[in-house]
Amino acid sequence: MMKYIFILSSFLFLSHFGYSQNDKEIEIETWYHIKIPTRDGINLSAIITKPKEIKDKLPALFMLTPYMADRNHESACYFAHQGFVVVTVDTRGRGNSDGKADPFNIIDGKDGFDVCKWITQQIWNNGKIGMYGGSYVGMTQWQTLKEMPPGLKTIVPTASVAPGIDFPKRNNIFYTYLGPYLVYISGRTGNMNSFTDIDYWKPIYMKFFAGGLPYSKLIETSGIGCDYFYNWLKHPLYDDFWKKTIPQADDYSKFNIPVLTITGYYDDDQIGAMNYYYNFINYSKSRDEHYLVIGPWDHAGTRKPQSELGELRFDKNCIININKLHLEWFNWILKDGSKPEFLKDKVTYYVMGANKWESTSSIANLNQSLMVLYPSSNTNNANDIYHCGDLLTDYAYDEFPDTFIYNPLDVSFSTYDLEECQLINYSLYKNRECYKGNQLIFQSKQIDRILTIAGQIKFTAYISMDIPDADFEILLYEVKPTGEEIYLTTDILRARFRNGLEKEELCTPGQIYKYEFKTPYLFVRQLSKGSRIRLILRNLNSPHYQKNFQSGGIISEETAKNSKTGIFKFYHNAKYSSQLEIPLLRLE
């Protein structure tokens, strides 16, 4: 018999989670501190929320989280009122679970298997389990599925992080955001007040941005001890250390359950979510049972959609009831209910600009044609908005390259607002210092018709420099006839990883190299007639990323004393044809 510390009977009426006056209320109860054994003797702690009276065995919904099981209280009550048993489990070393925390590692998947096995052995379970949750908790679903546990019939991963791909680094560039994040998840309880104290983190960010401390001191400066942070720094490449944490091709080939993936155009972990999605579509036997919903949301918005994001505005129809969608999905898969009405087809996406939802049978259908634009600058002085270069529809034949200079010690301005230091996709917010030299700006002619961009941008750039390494950033905007800027997408790239994330090759000063920016963020946006497309190429100059001082050394150990100023030449001619490729859904 299971022993529990406290039973809470409830007739909760949760309008926040989609209830109406006509919903039938089911009395529910919550069991706290339930111990679930794992194969290595560690006990994990669970909170179980369920209908108080169970006449027939029920399906279970399971969440494995490092963010405290109690944080899931409202959604657990919501699903319990609808006839599910909800099992929310603290990852090992967190909350009330035993053991030592080791985030972003394979242990979560193995623990997930053991929890699923335990659930199927309970008298209240009918042998069916679904998993849900976002961010880290999206990742634990994929890690658990990798272990092929008994009873797991579906997962609904939302904004799922993929270790080594989009966190704790992106394109092999680590985030300084790890400071507050690891403080938040260090120890057994959440440190939310410290995590959200922007004034506290500002000077810490700036120490690393200015080069006063090497990146390797980030966690020490943050006041915590995390052995795993130092292990991460030992693996600057995307190697087996990272690959083993999530499913690979052989794993996906064995997956045979339906999946609903939810992400957003401005979700920092869209990169991870889509990595899982593409691999599932490419390798799984159940590829026809994978559904995707992607809206105009940031990371938090994938759980609680919003119609305003920074300086972006959308119609209210972008706000969908995420909890209702989950409920309908679980009723469909676990209770033989009806398919969710919102899922008209396999891919449901929001068209920004047109402000409407559309559906298609395959994400490949989004790319109907390709627009190619070529950067050009007759003055070779495309360094500011008043003397910007062009984006042409034909090859550029410019004789001379454009030049820009970057000194890593120049921290007189940052292209990002530190008030947003808890966010990762900072480029979403308007770059108030965007046009202050040391960069290149190219702009197209006015678009003579309405067009819809759909997919991921690719930018090929031929660049030489007089230093062995550097970090680059591109940004893309729609500029409306009124002059209003609409942020579209961004990408970052470290020169030493220009030929892939699995190897590093320093540059020979003076040699021209090809750099391919394959923007990781998929988006769909209708551009207005008369708008222009603006492309910015510059060095990554942000306190939110690990600083590259351009010496060619071990970046995590570099400080200001290692700094080297770089002179960069960007080529656009017949031999070195730099180009911007924009996938289009349609022209109107």
Of 154, 180, 195, which residue constitutes the final position of a domain? 154
Q: What is the pLDDT of residue 18?
A: 41
559 domain-assigned:
yes
Residues 100 and 229 in one domain: no
Rounded-to-10 torsion of CA 330, 335, 337, 343 = 20
104 domain-assigned:
yes
Residues 377 and 447 in one domain: yes
Of 183, 206, 233, which residue constitutes the final position of a domain? 233
328 domain-assigned:
no
128 domain-assigned:
yes
Q: Which pairs with CB-CB distance under 8 Å and at least 24 residues apart come from 21-30?
A: 23/81, 25/81, 26/51, 26/52, 26/80, 26/81, 26/82, 26/83, 27/51, 27/52, 27/53, 28/52, 28/77, 28/80, 28/81, 30/6, 30/73, 30/76, 30/77
Neighbours of 449 (CB within 10 A): 10
CA separation for the pair 183, 191 (Å, rounded):
7
Q: What is the pLDDT of residue 414?
A: 54
Provide the 3-class DSSP secondary structure of residue 141: helix
Q: What is the pLDDT of residue 382?
A: 83
Neighbours of 438 (CB within 10 A): 15
- For the residues of 347-408, what is the DSSP string, one character each? EEEEEBTTTEEEEES-GGGG--EEEEEEEE-SSS---SGGG-EEEESS----SS-EEEEE-T
CA separation for the pair 326, 340 (Å, rounded):
9
Residues 433 and 534 in one domain: yes
Closest CA to 180 of 160, 199, 158: 199
Of 233, 259, 284, which residue constitutes the final position of a domain? 233
Residues in the chain, overall count: 588
262 domain-assigned:
no
Q: What is the pLDDT of residue 419?
A: 47
Q: What is the pLDDT of residue 412?
A: 73
Residues 419 and 478 in one domain: yes
391 domain-assigned:
yes
Q: What is the CATH number of the domain that holds 85?
A: 3.40.50.1820
Residues 104 and 222 in one domain: no
Q: What is the pLDDT of residue 327?
A: 98
Residues 83 and 205 in one domain: no
pTM of the entire structure?
0.92
- Name the phi and psi angles at 534, rounded to 5: -115, 130
Which tokens in the block code for residue 466?
């007089």
Q: Which pairs with CB-CB distance under 8 Å and at least 24 residues apart come from 374-381?
A: 374/572, 374/577, 374/578, 374/579, 374/580, 375/440, 375/442, 375/535, 375/570, 375/572, 375/578, 375/579, 375/580, 376/442, 376/572, 377/402, 377/440, 377/442, 377/572
Residues 62 and 174 in one domain: no
- The domain total for the chain is 3
Residues 472 and 542 in one domain: yes
Q: What is the CATH number of the domain that holds 551?
A: 2.60.120.260
256 domain-assigned:
no
CA separation for the pair 432, 411 (Å, rounded):
15
Range of the domain at 78: 1-154
- How far is Cα of residue 3 from the mean position of the Cα atoms in its chain? 39
Q: What is the pLDDT of residue 17?
A: 41
Residues 417 and 545 in one domain: yes
Beta bridge partners of 373: 580
Instruction: Give the H or E element holding residue 283.
Output: helix 270-283
Residues 174 and 146 in one domain: no
Residues 221 and 111 in one domain: no
CA separation for the pair 292, 278 (Å, rounded):
11
188 domain-assigned:
yes
CA separation for the pair 2, 400 (Å, rounded):
76
Going by DSSP bridges, is the β-strand pair 28-37/259-266 parallel, antiparallel, or unpaired? unpaired
For the chain, 588 residues long, the average pLDDT of each consecutive 10-residue run is 33 35 70 97 97 94 96 96 97 96 94 98 97 98 98 98 96 95 89 90 91 94 90 97 96 97 97 97 94 97 93 94 98 96 97 97 93 87 80 89 94 55 45 61 94 96 98 96 93 97 97 95 95 96 94 97 97 94 85
Q: Are 167 and 272 in contact (CB under 8 A)?
A: yes
Residues 23 and 140 in one domain: yes
